[in-house]
Structure 1
């Protein structure tokens, strides 16, 4: 079975330069460097001022058009910075999808977080998700935000794939955390997802957060999975980031939620982290691998 992050198209640097020069000649590219890739996008820094994201898959191209309209509309409603497009690349004969350019946001992916670091992130993250999930869907009329068509919380749909990745991880890394994750996966049963329609980031994990040198939250990036769905999709971050004994502090700010949502959030956290671990191994990203492994242990800790 192929990996879900396998690209359909990769925009190499020469094509990125050609596309930007053709559509935005005013930029006058002085420097350009690839700064990352994800499941869905190839990312370049231009002149150390802008970041351009080019879709790698069809679904990412469709969601890029959502970002173009949605992110400028919601930026003022959120207490943490998000990337807001300033360049709107159009699909063309040279490249079949839209692409976006954003002002560069300072910060780095959180890593080597101490207990104190994690505690410091609780309040800002809770306030951010409370604000995001409180945005009125009615106010988004006319914005092409999709509903969840991927079954992100569908345990039956995702369990077999998660087990397969865990078996591979157990073979490559004889770690207790993977054994514990395999036991969790084997034991989890179907949970009926309650009908809830809120605006969610859709892919909230450490790799899509930026912090400053003091490990303070500065931005939430990569909105390629934004959709209208269940809050548990985003609340997965509570399990992967926050130790069990401090999760109540998050909900003291965000607001109380029910036990079904909490269990779905834990499942989403474990599922996402298993995928990140498999991706990190495939791409030989040691830092991401170690952070995801630590997060998986936290997600599996008792609530």
Structure 2
């Protein structure tokens, strides 16, 4: 029987005390909380070159250790910059979970409006995923025992997705959403050897340069091996229809995997819309677009 750990209050004073206790070499650096931060982590900027990420709740526990272990091993094999872990903090001072210090990465969160050339970005995203999926098997990269890697099947989201569709009937076309979902569940499953996936490949985890080019991919807490369809979500969260076609062609995605990828974009968009749209106009706009793009893409393909 597992015991649920209450989510602690993570304020700047606590983060400063943790740094002073565990990494005193950084104790005198300025510390500024980023708002809103992430859904999984409270994030602070430490000085000009570092960031500090602490899980908000037990659902994000394990991400710091996974990134600390895997990113140094896979970063040299990827064509886009990724976070550089520098230190792994331990539970202390009433904070119950491991936490991380990484190198700060400059960039603006990706958005449809921020892309200088959506079709070029689509090809760059496809190039990143191609490199990621082509990495050696985990056992070949790891020097010894390694954390388990594996993703949940799309079917594990069935109950939550149908509940979200029912709750949002009237905001979106529930019949059409159900058709998208049913079609994906009926599609053939991934039957090839598992490949690496990012696990949370969407706009919030992509950074752009000041001139609108892809600069880095962040937040690898969902890193795993299995069906690559989960990483296709970005096709509906960020890309225009023309760029989406380029993205699919560059990756060489088959029909069944594309169906499952569209469904991952749907279930993620529905969940975020239900959770955050009432309190965040930005999330409401982003997820409304995401769900609408899914429906439009499905209609274009089915007639």
Provide TM-score, normalisation by structure 1: 0.84
Partner of residue 287 from structure 1, selected from 253, 264, 282: 282
| Partner-residue secondary structure (3-state), 1:79 | coil
Distance in 2, matches of 1:234 and 1:185, equals: 17
Q: Is the 8 A contact 1:10 1:42 kept in 2?
A: no
Judging changes above 3 Å, is the alpha-carbon distance between structure 1 residues 272 and 90 closer, same or farther for their aligned structure 2 residues? same
Shift of 1:263: 1.0
| Partner-residue secondary structure (3-state), 2:69 | helix
Judging changes above 3 Å, is the alpha-carbon distance between structure 1 residues 230 and 179 closer, same or farther for their aligned structure 2 residues? same
Distance in 2, matches of 1:93 and 1:223, equals: 26
**1:163 equivalent in structure 2:** 162
Distance in 1, matches of 2:78 and 2:32, equals: 30
Shift of 1:264: 0.9
**1:223 equivalent in structure 2:** 220
Judging changes above 3 Å, is the alpha-carbon distance between structure 1 residues 25 and 114 closer, same or farther for their aligned structure 2 residues? closer
| Partner-residue secondary structure (3-state), 1:97 | coil
Pairing 1:86-105 to 2, within 5 Å after superposition: 86-92=86-92, 94-105=94-105
Partner of residue 193 from structure 1, selected from 185, 189, 195: 189
Matching of residue 233 in structure 1 with residue 230 in structure 2? yes
Q: Is the 8 A contact 1:240 1:295 kept in 2?
A: yes
**2:124 equivalent in structure 1:** 124
Matching of residue 139 in structure 1 with residue 173 in structure 2? no
| Partner-residue secondary structure (3-state), 2:34 | strand
For 1:259-296, what per-residue CA distance to the aligned partner results, in whole angstroms no more than 9, with x for missing partners? 221111111111111122223325x2222321222122
Q: Is the 8 A contact 1:145 1:226 kept in 2?
A: no
Q: Is the 8 A contact 1:31 1:48 kept in 2?
A: no
Provide TM-score, normalisation by structure 2: 0.84
Distance in 2, matches of 1:250 and 1:146, equals: 30
Shift of 1:23: 0.8
Distance in 2, matches of 1:115 and 1:90, equals: 38
The count of aligned residue pairs is: 290
**2:3 equivalent in structure 1:** none
**1:277 equivalent in structure 2:** 273
Matching of residue 17 in structure 1 with residue 13 in structure 2? no
| Partner-residue secondary structure (3-state), 2:35 | strand
Shift of 1:21: 1.4
Q: Is the 8 A contact 1:112 1:291 kept in 2?
A: no
**1:69 equivalent in structure 2:** 69
Shift of 1:143: 6.1
For 1:119-168, what per-residue CA distance to the aligned partner results, in whole angstroms no more than 9, with x for missing partners? 2311110111111111001422336342325x2x323x312212322333
After the TM superposition, which of the residue ranges 184-193 and 42-51 deviates more from structure 2? 184-193
Q: Is the 8 A contact 1:145 1:228 kept in 2?
A: no
Gaps of 5+ in 1: 1-6
**1:80 equivalent in structure 2:** 80
Gaps of 5+ in 2: 1-5
Matching of residue 52 in structure 1 with residue 52 in structure 2? yes
Q: Is the 8 A contact 1:35 1:45 kept in 2?
A: no
For 1:150-203, what per-residue CA distance to the aligned partner results, in whole angstroms no more than 9, with x for missing partners? x2x323x312212322333345xx456x77435534665444522431111101
Distance in 1, matches of 2:117 and 2:169, equals: 29
